[in-house]
Structure 1
Amino acid sequence: MRKRTLISAAGMLASSFVLSACGGPNTVNERNRILPAATDNLGNAKVEPISLTIRHTQVKDTQKKRFAMLQDAVKATEAKVPGLSITLDGVEDKVNRFEKLRAEMAAGNPPEIFDLFGGTDTRDYVKADRLLDLTPILNELGLIDKFYSFDEFTVNGKIYGIPMAGYVEGLFYNKKILAAHSLNPPQTWDELLAAAEILKSRKITPFAMAAKDSWVINMMSNTMWVRTAGVESIEGFLDGSRHWTDPSVVEAFSKYDTLVKKGYFQEGSLALAYAEQQNKFSSGEAAFMFDGSWANTPLLDMEKSSIVEDLGFINFPAMGGPGDGFINGGWSNAYGFNKKLNPDQLLAVKEFIRQMYNEPMQKRQLMEEGMPPAMKLQDVSNVNPVITEILNVFSNAKGTFPAYDSRIQTKVREKLERGMQELIAGRTNPVSLMADIQKQQEASNKEEAHTK
């Protein structure tokens, strides 16, 4: 798999451009040229109102800084576009992705701008003819070559989403806890197990884990089966060349089951929501936590985290398989746009893109939120050391692979999520679980083939 280089911690210049937050054509003149203002009974020009709704997912307390960036971009856009009024509609990420947006797409009435997930979601909505082709707009605004990747939002050579930030998943660890017990950050599966056993014997929770939100479980399991079965396994499930029942896949789930049976996960995890996983770790009560780079925001919050000075981040340890050294990372979250924009709304959307996607905003996002940029930045100086570690892990990985739920069909994902909860509860075993998942995979593949 092609390695996606992000940026080095030394501040390598990824490109030689700087975009102005207010760059591009004058939107006032552009609107007047294309859609001349109407006049009142006295012949005075008046501006017709334009309305846009932006569906965003920055609703958590830990996302206040990112929400403030969106608000600033909205204010700047409204100031540049006469008559424009933008409504911000905040919805929790998973509710937006799996419930609300999906229903709106089925009905054909999504918001004008919305948080969009790449891969399968984007392809499904393109197939339903709901998404605006952004290729000509990105070319017009001179942005087409300024991003690291549009891969997850490209269908048949056309771009349908603009990623705001990158992500990478890996193992956060508490440097203080490991040092106190003469442990080094584990580089292999055996080292990880040995460290977990030592920590548990000394009454320290090895892994912070919240399994009530089922998607959380499969962040680590996804990386584990890629370790043992290889990065091609997910595409193999889809084309039938690989199976969930393959020994190399079952091996990963058996090793996950070992962590469960040995009691290395946070006690009572099935009753705990995602936030409790981060709370357990940030309070210094657990040595490890598998999570995405987005988690660094609450972990580095001086007011809420007790481990700000003790935080470290590494790629998941090697497990002796073909996927060792690869990492789950990329650019999966973006803004998508309703295909049914009127000419006024289209002009406003272009201005929003100018205000949202530029070097100052991307640098601010990196500095304040620690989120890997989607755009190639010229200046990456003065970044928090932990964020530097995250960027280094991303850059130094052998390669990347996408999150399985950006490729796998919905019914397979849902069955795997429920099945992993049952595994943690002791109601199934890896062999039976993988047999059930494979049956659903075959059914979903067959159903998908019939709709093509």
Structure 2
Amino acid sequence: MKLKKSIVLGSLSLLAAMTLAACGNNQHAGKTQIEFMTSSVEQERLAVINELVSSFEKTHPDIHVNVVPVDENAYNTKVVTLARANKMPEVVEVSQDFAKVMDKVQLINQEAVDEIMSDVGEDTYYDGAKRLVRSENGQHYIAAPISGWVQGIWYDKKQLATKGITDLSSWEKVEAAAKAFNDPKNKKFGIAMPTADSVMSEQAFSQFALSNKANVLNAQGQVTFDTPEMKEALSFYQNLSQYTMPGSNDVTEINDAFMNGTVPMAIYSTYIIPGIFEAGKAENLGFAIPTNKSEAVYGTVSGLTIAANKSDDKTEAAKEFVTYLSSQENMEKWVLMSPGGAQPVNKNIVNSSTYQNNEVIQAFGKLPTEIANSFDKVQVFGLVGEKNFNKMGNITSAGIIGRAVHDVTVGNHAVGPVLEKAQAEAQKTTNED
């Protein structure tokens, strides 16, 4: 009897669960349902995103957005899997580089993204941020920028002042400052800079190369690594590295050296800012841009893109959603999920009281505005004029530039042969004769 009762109760419980599930599935019946894939998996960030989705759905009752959080380490694989199964989410958060990969295999609805940029107002974005999400031919956008970060030379104003240094506006002045503080015997060094065989080394070196008018590709997309301008830049980087910590330095080593006072300068992204704030050193932080023939900031953009080959109603719903997230108020909320680290890519945000009154932003005075404005000075390898060559991704993925930087710094190899080798490897990687 007890067994029968248990079976009956179990069956009723299962039926109730199935009924609730059915009700859950039906509550969005009649609505256009879209998916939004994001790399934000942290609870605090997801809370902000879910709040944005909820507010969007209140003003767009005919649309339901399902948030699909995917860890960034599994992101690329997940997109490939979904694309092969023809199950791409309608809206995808992308880096500028991954947007190029998606665009190369025609996974992006360029026209839909163009319309979003037009509706939001192209002129409200920093030019540098817009150029990073241009299609290869420069005629379309492949993502709507929502946030970004930039990289440059961070310095401790008080430390530099002890030797009367206030100006880092040229290669020579940066080198002189590094030399002045270099004291290896006492485990003090002049500058923390990337020397590992890594993407970070490519990013850091690119600022010196591009500030010397040396790009990896020319306007025709041909590899131009082995040039006098590139040789001059790599030689300078090699020479500057004598004032950094020994060994292969990457993200952790550079951040630690700057935070613990081992060096007065460091080449790093804006994600150094939160740590500086927590350490109570905000008022002492300075930011310089590698400058020779021009200024060159390395920057990257996170954007929202629209998947290709979707039904008209889903595409329209996706456009509505991305346009909503791209409003000034909502972009502010997105950027302030990581204040200081994530940077505004829209000029209107920088001047808003909400942004300026954030405790992290406020602590750094005028510096956050200076940093955000540097987006207009962004230069990256493979971006030539309005052309944004996809093949640059092949060169980066092959690790050619990071390896070259490591070879001339840690390996102390001669610059000339390293450039010749890199030129040949890049040509082979891009199938260039």
TM superposition score category, shorter chain reference: 0.7 to 0.9
Q: Which amino acid aligns with 1:116?
A: V
In 2 relative to 1, CA 154–246 (structure 1 residues): closer, same or farther, beyond 3 Å? closer
How far residue 267 of structure 1 moved from its aligned partner, in angstroms, is 4.2
Unaligned runs of at least 5 residues, structure 2: 1-21
Give, in whole Å, the separation in 2 of the partners of 1:236 and 1:374: 27
User: Is the CA contact 1:48–1:83 (under 8 Å) kept in the aligned structure 2?
Assistant: no
How far residue 435 of structure 1 moved from its aligned partner, in angstroms, is 0.9
Query: Which stretch has the larger CA shift, 390-399 or 282-291?
Result: 390-399
Question: More helix per residue: 1 or 2?
Answer: 2
Match of 1:256 in 2: 237
Give, in whole Å, the separation in 2 of the partners of 1:238 and 1:278: 38
Does residue 186 (structure 1) correspond to residue 168 (structure 2)? The answer is yes
Match of 2:395 in 1: 412
How far residue 86 of structure 1 moved from its aligned partner, in angstroms, is 1.8
Match of 1:22 in 2: none
Number of equivalences: 385
Give, in whole Å, the separation in 1 of the partners of 2:335 and 2:281: 20
The counterpart of 1:299, out of the listed 276, 286, 294, is: 276
TM-score after normalising by structure 2: 0.73
User: Is the CA contact 1:237–1:243 (under 8 Å) kept in the aligned structure 2?
Assistant: no
Give, in whole Å, the separation in 2 of the partners of 1:140 and 1:81: 24
TM-score after normalising by structure 1: 0.71
Match of 1:152 in 2: 132
Match of 1:214 in 2: 198
Give, in whole Å, the separation in 1 of the partners of 2:210 and 2:63: 51
Give, in whole Å, the separation in 2 of the partners of 1:238 and 1:91: 37
User: Is the CA contact 1:210–1:266 (under 8 Å) kept in the aligned structure 2?
Assistant: no
Match of 2:16 in 1: none
Q: Which amino acid aligns with 2:201?
A: I
Q: Percent identity?
A: 16
Does residue 325 (structure 1) correspond to residue 283 (structure 2)? The answer is no
Show CA shifts across 1:44-88 (max 9, x none): 99725765443333457xxx8765543332232344446735233
Give, in whole Å, the separation in 2 of the partners of 1:333 and 1:315: 22
DSSP 3-state at the match of 1:165: strand
Match of 1:380 in 2: 352
Give, in whole Å, the separation in 2 of the partners of 1:185 and 1:366: 30
Show CA shifts across 1:132-159 (max 9, x none): 2324742785555544454433436333
How far residue 439 of structure 1 moved from its aligned partner, in angstroms, is 0.7
In 2 relative to 1, CA 164–205 (structure 1 residues): closer, same or farther, beyond 3 Å? same
The counterpart of 1:430, out of the listed 398, 415, 430, is: 415
Q: Which amino acid aligns with 1:117?
A: S
User: Is the CA contact 2:197–2:406 (under 8 Å) kept in the aligned structure 1?
Assistant: no
Unaligned runs of at least 5 residues, structure 1: 1-39
In 2 relative to 1, CA 393–152 (structure 1 residues): closer, same or farther, beyond 3 Å? closer
Correspondence list, 1:66-85, <5 A: 68-79=47-58, 80-81=60-61, 84=64
User: Is the CA contact 1:171–1:291 (under 8 Å) kept in the aligned structure 2?
Assistant: yes
Give, in whole Å, the separation in 2 of the partners of 1:67 and 1:291: 27
Does residue 266 (structure 1) correspond to residue 250 (structure 2)? The answer is no
Show CA shifts across 1:360-409 (max 9, x none): 22344566623443334174343536473353366479954235586453
In 2 relative to 1, CA 67–315 (structure 1 residues): closer, same or farther, beyond 3 Å? farther
Match of 1:338 in 2: 307
